[in-house]
Amino acid sequence: MNMTKHAISLLVSNKPGVLTRITLVFARRGFNIDSLVVSQGQKAEFSRMNIEATGDERASTLMLAQLNRLVDVIHAVDHTADNVIQTELALVKINCTAENRNEAILLSETFRCQALDISEDTITFQITGKSSKVNAFQKMMEPFGILEMVRTGKVLMSRGTAATA
């Protein structure tokens, strides 16, 4: 079985139960949802979903067709092969003493992070960018001791004048 990561965007009705029905489609087709972001669309009656899921390449076409048949799905598109903007945000809280604070801040500047909170024993950074950048920052902060980390998941948007599904 050829497992592939898929970047899927959906425009859906903003109603209770829609997320449950969509995640069931992924589960039935054997896809693991790696990242899921849901937000209100431009109009309050719609929501936008960005899902990164790993699954069988052959099943992805069937899954997309099934998603597009759901009553509350306006449209679902797999952007895996498309040239889209993808980014995520993470908040990372590390152990940090006065002795190693400068080192942590210098490393964070390399990644263009923002220090959101500094206390006697911790620093909380905000980082945005591609998942590979967030992963690299996480690896560089591990020696300090990561106390907490929260990631938003990937969001995506089509480039230029093309509308994102």
pLDDT tens per residue across all 165 residues of the chain? 678 889 999 999 999 999 999 999 999 888 889 999 999 988 999 999 999 999 887 888 888 999 999 999 999 999 988 889 999 999 999 999 999 999 999 999 999 999 999 999 999 999 999 999 999 999 999 999 999 999 998 899 888 888 787
Task: Select from 3.30.9.10, 3.30.70.260, 3.20.20.70, 3.90.850.10 the CATH code of 3-82.
Answer: 3.30.70.260
Type of residue numbered 96: C
Structural class in CATH, domain 85-155 = alpha beta
Q: CA angle, 15 as apex, 12 and 16 as ends, to 5°?
A: 125
Helix-then-strand count for the chain, H and E: 4, 9
Tokens of 29: 């087709």
Which part of the chain is CATH 3.30.70.260? 3-82
Which part of the chain is CATH 3.30.70.1150? 85-155
Tell me if residue 14 falls in helix, strand or coil: coil
